[in-house]
Structures are given as C-alpha cells and as structure tokens.
C-alpha cells in the first residue's frame, strides 16, 4: 500500500493521471483552450483547499517559549537581531547596492502603475471600435504612441529593471557573501541612466511623431547604456566578490540566473545600441541605412525588423531568466526539499538564454522573407520547448513529495508555473508559420506573450517581493490580503488572456462567427481588464500599509531558508555582514534535513557547529 | 577542494567532485582573492581586468553588429559605391600602431620602476592617441570638402559610422590614459602597474579594431 506524505501529494498524483487522460479524448481543436482553463481552475481550487489544512508551523520563528538550537545559533553571528526598519539604506544618491536595488524597484512600481493605466486606455479604445470592422483598431498616431509607451514601460522598466536590477542589485552581494558590488559607482550611474531614460520615453509619447520617436530612441539608447553598466557590475561581482567557500556550484540558483542574464544583457543591449546608432544616423544625418538608398535599386528587406527582433527575442529571456531563478528558489524553500537536479536547472537556464539568440525570424513570418527561412526558424523556435520543459520537470520534481507551505509567495510561484505552462503552450503553435503567418489574429500573439512574459514575470516579481519583504524592510506583508489579491489576479488574468487567445483564433477564421460576438468578446476583455487592474489596488494597499505600519519582523530568518542573506539582520546593516563575512560550507538547497528541531542546514553553518547540533 | 578562483570552480563542475569539503584554512573571510591570477596588486585589480574584458566583449558585439549589416548590404548591392580612403588614414594607422608600441615600452619602464621613463613614454602614448583623433577629424574634413557626405551613399555612411564610433571609443581610452598618467596611486587599492596593464588591454584592442575596420573599408570599397 503506497504511503503519501500528506493528502495533498496523494491528490497531485491523481491529477498526474487524470490530466493526460482528459486530453487524450478526441475533442475538436476549438475546445482545447476551454479544457485547459477548466482543468487549471480545478487544479487551483484543489490547491486552495490545501490551504485550509494547517501544516506544522515552522515557517515563522517560533514564539519565545519554543526556541530551537538553530535560533540560538542565529544570534551568534555577531549581528544585532533587532535592526530598526530603515527605508532607503542611505540617501537617494547613495551607491549602496541595497539602496540602488530598492530604487530600481520603486521605479518599476511607478512604471507598472502607469503601464496598467495605459493598458486600460488601450482596451477601452479597442472595444469602442466599430462593430463591423475586423481590421486593426484606431490607427491614429495617438493610439500608436500610447501602445508604444505601454510596451516600453512594461518591457523595459518593469520586466527588465525589476527582476534583474531591482532584486539582483539588492540580493546578489548578500547571497554571495560580499559587502558591496564590484563597482558601487556604476550601480548609481546605471540607476540614474535608467531613470533618465524613463523620463525621456514617457515624454516622447506626448510629442509630435517625428520628434517623439527620436526622443524615444534616445531614451532607449540611454537605457541600453544603463543596462550594460549594470550587467558589467553584476557579472564582475559574481565572478570576483564571492565569499570564501562560495564556489560556483554552491551559488543559489537565483544568483546563477542573475549572472546568466547579465551576460545576455551585455550582448543584446550592445546590438540594440548599434542598431539605434544607425537609426539615429538615418534620422538626423540623412543617411540611408534602413530606407531604400537613393543609388541602389536593391535593398535588404526588413533590415530594421531583423535587428530589432534579434535584440527583442533575446530580451524576453533577459526578462524571464531572473524570474525562473526566483521561482525555482522559492519552490524549493516552500516545499522544504532540495532542488531537483540543480545542475540541470542551471544548464536549462543557459540553454534558454542561448536559444533566444537564434529565433528572431520567428517574428517575421509575415514580413516577406525568403520562403525557406520558416523551415529553420520554426524548428529553432519550437526547440525552445526543450529547456522550458526541463525547467518544468525540475519544478515539479522539487514539489513532488514536499511539505508544501502555501504562503502568498508560494502561491505566486505556483501561479507562475501555471501561467508559464499554459501561455507557453500557445507558443508552440505560434512557432509554426502557418498559424503565425496570418491565419490568426494579433490577439493570439498578444494573449500568448502577456501570459508568459507579462503576467508570469509579474507573478515572479510579486513572489520575490512577498518573500524578501521582511529582509528588505523589517516588516511583514499581510498574508490574508496577499492571498486574496493572488486569487483575484490569477482568475482575472486567465479570464482575460485566455479569452484573448480565443479572440485571436476566431478573428480571422474564414467561417467567422458573428461580428457582434467578436464585439461582445472585445467588450468582455475590457471589463475583465478593468476588474483585474482594480484588484491590484489590494496589493498596493497591502504594500504601503505594511511598509508604514506593518507588523515588524526582526527575525533574521523568518522563512527558515538556507542562503546567506538570511544570516543578517532584517533589514541588513550598511556593510551587510557586520561580524565578518561568513564562510560557506555547502550548497544552497540543504532542505528537508532534520537538524536541531528544524529541517534545513544553512550554507554558512560550520562543520563544528553542525556536529554540535546533531 | 573548493577553491576561490574561477578556474578551480570550472574544474569542480567538470570533474563532479561533489561539493562539500573544507575551505582553505588560515585566511580571514571576506575577500575572494585567490591564487593563480596574473594581475598583480590584489583581487581588486583582477576585477578591473575582468570588467575590461567584458567591456571589450560588449564593444566588439556593438561593432560586429554594424559590420554584419555592412557585409550584407555590400554583398546585396551591385551598385555599391565605396569611399576612396584618404591617404591620411594610413598615416593615422601608423600613429596608432606606434602608440601601442610606446605603451608597452612605458609599461616595461614601470615594471623596472623607472618612474621618469614611464611618465615620458606614457605621455608620448597619450599624445600619439590624440594625434590619431585629430588626424581622423582632418580626414573627415577632407572627405566632406570633396563632397562625400554620409547621405551620399551607404558606403560613405558606413565609413563615417565606423570611423566616428571608433574615434569616440578611443577618446574613452585617452581619458583612461590620462587618468593612469596623472593620478597619485599612493593610497589606492589598485597599483599603477595593474591599472596600466588593464588600460593596455583596452588600448591594444582599440588598435586591433581599427586595423580590422580599415581593412574592411579598404577591401569593401
């Protein structure tokens, strides 16, 4: 008779049998997305019921009466346990990496609020489009400017700045045992270049088209410069500033992800800068790199598109890799199990980054390329499924048999897995030229990338925020409000973007469903978008209230995690490790190991101390 | 055996030793330092060397993106009109190559703690670098006065973009030369020897890049 650790694991195993069975039935193609939504809702409801069963409470530092030997050891590392919660770790011009990281996060928060407002504006415009027209909506330049601004803000300042620069700058030195980044001056410079580019790009949306797009380009170049400097800083820090004993195999997977992303950013932002320089030259100096040159009757088709997509496809991996790292890390910690095949996960991260350089043509199926190019690009784009599948296997392998603790951070991490899986599946179809080349509407692509990139990455950012909030601010975010926010957002984004997939499928179908139905669908999308954005108010209330009046959490290691940042006070002192930088003795995922009344072994616990605790 | 240099870690990954083990005893925590580095002056010097290596990779990718566009457009266009290279460019090349030579001579003097010799040769290198940039400006003016603007043809446009981009990066190198030449290194965390070595990497890279670009423009016209 098989034994399961708990009834949740028993249920998960049942689902692993039930879901494939469901899909093996021969349902027509159109029912695909319905079945997916339903089974996902079912799965999520199941997890929700799991929440109501309280597992043994070792997630927070036990109350005074029950102090484990591990807690006593926590206080021996020369750090005061009660740091007063501080805001900025120094002034706004400080080059302390924690201050810079937080500044990037504030910048990202400002951008996400603006971006969401813009998206609502776009949705209202789209649903007000005349019921009879199936072509692209309002083609006014104003609408195009708003779309460009929404995209730029979200992709550059939220998806690139927050996971990589925001959390990366704050956590990399702490997790590798360094006092500071390799080049503190560069940290500050990269932030201010990013801030300047935010101002430039935002202003550009309000200028006349020619001046506006030149200013936008200038903003992008400024952003690229900032990102190149940040990437340089992060890479050198990871290579050179590690504490004694922190070998590369012992790095937490979050640091691996930030490091790989830094190398990628270095490469792709150089390419973007090169193409922007040429475009600037065309706009300001009268050259003809991209237009048809006066003297030549032959020009290379879509050259700007090729360059832009070479950058942009790799850019989505720059946005996603830190999120993969964060989610993998959190899944391990909240299921109290070591990562399943850690080295494979790191290799999958590298592969995802590498593949991203090879598939720019997948965005150009409708641009009139050589008809044989889709053979290559479709194959390469589909092969991206390989590292993604490896990561999914790693995540499920980590969760399997774990004592899953459904805190808000864990819910967001699981939500990420769900969104990445379902959004990624539509990517398999989009990688094929027949679908992407014109037989489906734009809404299918929009739905796909919003699920995988927009919302999934946002869930990862939120998970990271809930997880590291005690460390950053010495307070705790409200879990109830957080969970409510999660469920509303989870339901909302699925309703919104899965319906968008559907819209994309029927939009250009030859036996088109009634025009009124499509109009109705568009209106539905707008209503859901409004509701989902409204639900985000819960998060902002939670965030600001907790920041100002939240329950103080001065425990060094409330989540009982193993990495080095949990060995310092919350929030960390200026020089990070007050009593001396710790020495590292083991990898980052020694979880589920019974020791001194707890179930983890911190990275910095010396063998002598370990022997004493056993 | 967990080492603290990157090379040891690569061995660890390849040989699958399996992690764990004691870190080397007898050194205080904090610095990752590490034996086996070639740059003298401590681990902070090594981080500058790595930083400049990564910077050179980024700059190389920047130029190679433009070179790729140049090659594709050149091959596809049967009526390509290249730019006749002014003779001044060959003189500038010699100036730049000799500046690399004087740079190495200066570093040798520094290694032999010949302070005065180092200063003189370093100054000479900086002067040669500035001469190169001035020479480039003169060459551009020659071409402009002959009516070859960037807007005339793609060949001309690429010529200007390549040479201007290179000159801008070289100016950065000149700033580095001035910094190393003028700064007092007494209490610095990096020695002058290390700083000079890191600067030399960048300068020789700029040199080699120029030779490559010149060859490309010459053969591609």
The interface predicted TM-score (ipTM) is: 0.82
Q: Do A244 and B4 touch (CB under 8 A)?
A: yes
pLDDT, residue A270, reads 95
Strand partners, A234: none
Q: Is residue B189 less than 8 Å (CB to CB) from chain A? A: no
Q: Find the closest chain B residue to A282 by CA distance.
A: B151
Contacts of A299 in chain B (CB under 8 A): 73, 76-77
pLDDT single digits (tens) A54-97: 444 444 444 333 345 555 555 544 344 444 444 446 678 888 99
Task: Say whether residue B28 is in contact with chain A using an 8 A CB cutoff.
Answer: yes
pLDDT 10s digits, A160-184: 999 999 999 999 999 999 999 999 9
Q: What percent of chain A has pLDDT over 90?
A: 48
Contact list in A for residue B27 (CB cut-off 8 A) is 244
Q: Which of A271, A289, A583 sits opposite B23 (nearest CB)?
A: A583
Chain B residues touching A240 at Cβ < 8 A: 32, 43, 46-47, 50
HEC letters along chain B? CCCCCHHHHHHHHHHCCCCCCCCCCCCCCCCCCCCCCCCCCCHHHHHHHHHHHHHHHHHHHHHHHHHHHHHHHHHHCCCCCCCCCCCHHHHHHHHHHHHHHHHHHHHHHHHCCCHHHHHHHHHHHHHHHHHHHHHHHHHHHHHHHCCCCCCCCHHHHHHHHHHHHHHHHHHHHHHHHHHHHHCCCCCCCCCHHHHHHHHHHHHHHHHHHHHHHHHHHHHCC
Q: Which residues contact A299 (CB under 8 A, 6 or more apart)?
A: A291, A292, A293, B73, B76, B77
Q: Which pair of tokens denotes residue B111?
A: 């290694």
Residue A104, CA distances (Å) to A201, A314, A412 in order? 16, 21, 21
> What are the chain B neighbours of A587 within 8 Å (beta carbons)?
19
Does the distance separating the beta carbons of B58 and A267 come in below 8 Å?
A: yes
CB contact B3 to A (< 8 Å)? yes
- CB contacts under 8 A, B 64-123 vs A, are 65-66, 69, 72-73, 76-81
pLDDT at B3 > cutoff 60: no
| Mean pLDDT computed over every residue of chain A | 82
pLDDT in tens, A18-66: 665 555 555 444 444 555 556 556 665 555 544 444 444 444 444 333 3
Angle between helices A442-449 and A479-507 (to 10 degrees): 160
Average pLDDT value for residue range B120-125 = 94
Of A294-298, A309-313, A481-485, which one has max mean pLDDT? A481-485
Domains (ranges, CATH) in chain A?
68-83+554-614 (no CATH), 92-290 (1.20.210.10), 332-552 (1.20.210.10)
Any A CB within 8 A of B32 CB: yes
The pLDDT assigned to B21 comes to 37
State whether A232 and B58 contact (CB < 8 Å): yes
Residues of chain A numbered 289-318 and touching chain B (CB < 8 Å): 289, 293-300, 303, 307
How far away is chain B from the Cα of A212, in angstroms, using its nearest Cα?
A: 23
Determine whether the interchain pair A240/B47 forms a contact, defined as Cβ–Cβ distance below 8 Å.
yes
User: Could you report the per-residue pLDDT of A435-465, keeping only the tens digit for each?
Assistant: 655 666 778 888 888 988 889 999 999 999 9
pTM of the predicted model over 0.90: no
Residue B117 C-alpha, separation from nearest chain A C-alpha, in angstroms: 32
**Six token digits for residue A432:** 């094929």
**Bridge pairing between strands A475-476 and A551-552:** antiparallel
Q: Which of A438, A553, A558, A424 is nearest to A497 (CA)?
A: A424
* Backbone torsions φ then ψ of A591, nearest 5 degrees: -115, 160
State phi, psi for A90 to the nearest 5 degrees.
115, 170
Low-confidence winner among A91-100, A167-176, A560-569, B194-203 (lowest mean pLDDT): A91-100
Over range A360-383, report the average pLDDT. 73
- Summarised one tens digit per residue, pLDDT across range A202-232 is 999 888 888 888 999 999 999 999 999 999 9
- How confident is the model at residue A31, as a pLDDT? 41
Phi then psi dihedrals of residue A306, to 5 deg: -60, -50
pLDDT digits (tens, 9 = 90+) for A269-292: 999 999 999 989 888 888 888 866
d(CA A483, CA A431): 35
User: Residues of B with CB below 8 A from A235's CB?
Assistant: 50, 54
Residue A172 tokens read as: 């990399």
Task: Give the fold, CATH level 3, of B43-219.
Answer: 1.20.120
Please list the residue range(s) of chain B that carry CATH number 1.20.120.80.
Answer: 43-219
CA A439, chain centre distance (Å): 30
Instruction: Reply yes or no on whether the pLDDT at A608 is more than 70.
Output: yes
Identify the pLDDT of residue A486: 97
Terminus-to-terminus CA distance in chain B, angstroms? 56
Give me the pLDDT at residue A443, please. Answer: 82
- The whole-chain average pLDDT of chain B stands at 82
A303 chain-B contacts, CB cut-off 8 A: 69, 72-73
Q: Is the pLDDT of residue B155 over 60?
A: yes
- Tell which residue, A254, A238, A232, has the closest CA to residue A178: A238
Query: A45: which 2 tokens?
Result: 């409801």
**Which residues in chain B are contacts of A182 at CB distance < 8 A?**
47, 51
Q: CA of A243 to nearest chain B CA: how many angstroms apart?
A: 5
> Which chain B residue has the Cα nearest residue A266?
B58
Nearest CA in chain A to B6: A239
Q: How far is CA B12 from CA A132, A563, B23, B199, in A?
A: 65, 21, 14, 32
CB A603 within 8 A of CB A584: yes
Q: How far, in Å, are A138, A264, A503, A506, A526 from residue A517 at the CA level?
A: 20, 44, 10, 10, 14
Q: Which residue has the higher pLDDT, A106 or A290?
A: A106
> Which chain A residue has its CA at the smallest distance from B161's CA?
A278
The alpha carbon of residue B114 is apart from the nearest alpha carbon of chain A, in Å, by 31
Cα–Cα distance, A13 to A400 (Å, whole number): 9
Report the C-alpha gap between A98 and A111 in whole angstroms: 20
Task: Kindly state the percentage of chain A with pLDDT values over 70.
Answer: 78
Q: Is A86 helix (H, G, I), strand (E, B) or coil?
A: coil
For residues B201 and B207, give the distance between their C-alpha atoms in angstroms, rounded to a whole number: 10
What is the rounded CA–CA span in Å between residue B130 and residue B118? 18
Interface probe with A: pick from B69, B160, B165, most Cβ of A within 10 Å? B69
Q: How far is B32 from chain A (nearest CA, A)?
A: 6
């Amino acid at each position: 008779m098989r034994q399961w650790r708990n009834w949740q694991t028993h249920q998960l195993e049942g689902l692993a049998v039930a879901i494939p069975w469901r899909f093996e039935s021969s349902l027509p193609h159109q029912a695909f997305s319905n079945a997916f939504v339903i089974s996902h809702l079912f799965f999520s409801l199941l997890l929700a019921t799991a929440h109501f069963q309280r597992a043994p409470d070792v997630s927070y530092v036990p109350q005074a009466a029950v102090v484990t030997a591990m807690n006593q050891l926590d206080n021996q590392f020369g750090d005061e346990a009660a740091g007063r919660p501080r805001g900025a770790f120094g002034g706004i011009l400080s080059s302390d990496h924690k201050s810079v990281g937080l500044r990037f996060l504030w910048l990202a928060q400002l951008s996400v609020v603006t971006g969401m407002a813009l998206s609502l504006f776009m949705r209202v415009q789209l649903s007000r489009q005349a019921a009879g027209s199936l072509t692209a909506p309002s083609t006014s330049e104003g609408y195009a400017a708003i779309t460009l601004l929404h995209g730029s803000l979200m992709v550059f300042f939220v998806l690139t700045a927050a996971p990589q620069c925001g959390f990366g700058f704050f956590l990399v030195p702490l997790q590798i045992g360094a006092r500071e980044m390799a080049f503190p001056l560069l940290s500050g410079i990269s932030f201010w270049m990013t801030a300047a580019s935010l101002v430039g790009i935002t202003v550009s949306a309000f200028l006349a088209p020619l001046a506006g797009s030149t200013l936008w380009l200038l903003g992008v170049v400024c952003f690229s410069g900032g990102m190149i400097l940040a990437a340089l800083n992060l890479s050198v820090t990871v290579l050179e500033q590690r504490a004694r004993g922190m070998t590369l195999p012992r790095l937490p997977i979050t640091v691996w992800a930030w490091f790989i992303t830094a190398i990628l950013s270095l490469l792709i932002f150089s390419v973007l800068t090169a193409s922007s320089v040429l475009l600037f030259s065309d706009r300001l100096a009268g050259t003809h790199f991209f237009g048809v040159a006066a003297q030549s009757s032959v020009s290379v088709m879509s050259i700007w598109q090729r360059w832009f997509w070479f950058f942009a496809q790799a850019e989505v991996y720059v946005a996603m890799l830190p999120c993969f790292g964060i989610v993998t890390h959190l899944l391990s910690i909240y299921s109290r199990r070591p990562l399943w095949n850690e080295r494979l996960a790191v290799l999958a991260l590298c592969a995802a980054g590498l593949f991203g350089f090879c598939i720019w043509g997948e965005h150009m199926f409708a641009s009139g390329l050589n008809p044989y190019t889709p053979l290559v690009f479709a194959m390469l784009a589909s092969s991206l499924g390989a590292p993604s599948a490896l990561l999914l296997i790693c995540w499920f392998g980590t969760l399997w048999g774990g004592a899953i603790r459904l805190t808000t951070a864990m819910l967001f991490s699981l939500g990420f897995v769900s969104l990445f899986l379902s959004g990624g599946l539509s990517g398999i179809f989009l990688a094929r030229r027949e679908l992407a080349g014109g037989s489906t509407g734009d809404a299918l692509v929009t739905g796909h990338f919003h699920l995988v990139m927009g919302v999934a990455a946002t869930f990862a950012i939120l998970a990271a925020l809930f997880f590291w909030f005690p460390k950053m601010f010495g307070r705790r975010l409200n879990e109830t409000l957080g969970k409510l926010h999660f469920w509303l957002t989870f339901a909302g984004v699925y309703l919104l973007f899965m319906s968008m997939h559907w819209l994309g499928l029927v939009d250009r179908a030859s036996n088109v469903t009634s025009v009124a139905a499509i109009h109705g669908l568009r209106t539905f999308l707008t209503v859901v978008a409004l509701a989902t954005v409204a639900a985000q108010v819960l998060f902002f209330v939670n965030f600001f209230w907790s920041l100002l009046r939240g329950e103080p959490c001065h425990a060094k290691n409330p989540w009982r995690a193993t990495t080095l940042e949990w060995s310092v006070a919350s929030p960390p002192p200026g020089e990070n490790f007050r009593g001396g930088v710790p020495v590292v003795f083991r990898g980052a995922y020694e979880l589920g190991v019974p020791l001194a009344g707890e179930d983890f072994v911190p990275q910095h616990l010396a063998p002598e101390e370990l022997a004493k605790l056993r | 055996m967990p080492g603290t240099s990157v090379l040891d870690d690569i061995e660890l990954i390849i040989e699958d030793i399996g992690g764990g083990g004691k870190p080397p005893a007898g050194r205080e925590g904090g610095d990752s330092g590490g034996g086996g580095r070639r740059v003298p002056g401590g681990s902070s010097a090594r981080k500058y060397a790595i930083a400049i290596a990564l910077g050179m990779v980024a700059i190389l990718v920047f130029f190679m993106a433009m070179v790729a566009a140049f090659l594709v457009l050149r091959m596809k266009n049967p009526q390509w009109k290249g730019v006749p290279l002014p003779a001044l460019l060959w003189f500038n090349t010699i100036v730049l190559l000799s500046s690399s030579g004087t740079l190495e001579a200066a570093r040798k003097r520094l290694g032999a703690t010949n302070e005065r010799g180092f200063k003189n040769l370093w100054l000479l290198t900086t002067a040669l670098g500035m001469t190169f940039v001035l020479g480039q400006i003169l060459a551009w003016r020659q071409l402009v006065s002959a009516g070859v603007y960037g807007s005339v043809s793609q060949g001309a446009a690429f010529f200007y973009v390549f040479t201007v981009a290179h000159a801008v990066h070289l100016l950065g190198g000149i700033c580095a030369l001035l910094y190393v030449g003028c700064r007092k290194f007494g209490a610095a965390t990096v020695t002058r020897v290390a700083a000079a070595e890191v600067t030399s990497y960048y300068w020789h890279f700029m040199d080699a890049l120029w030779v490559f670009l010149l060859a490309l423009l010459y053969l591609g016209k």
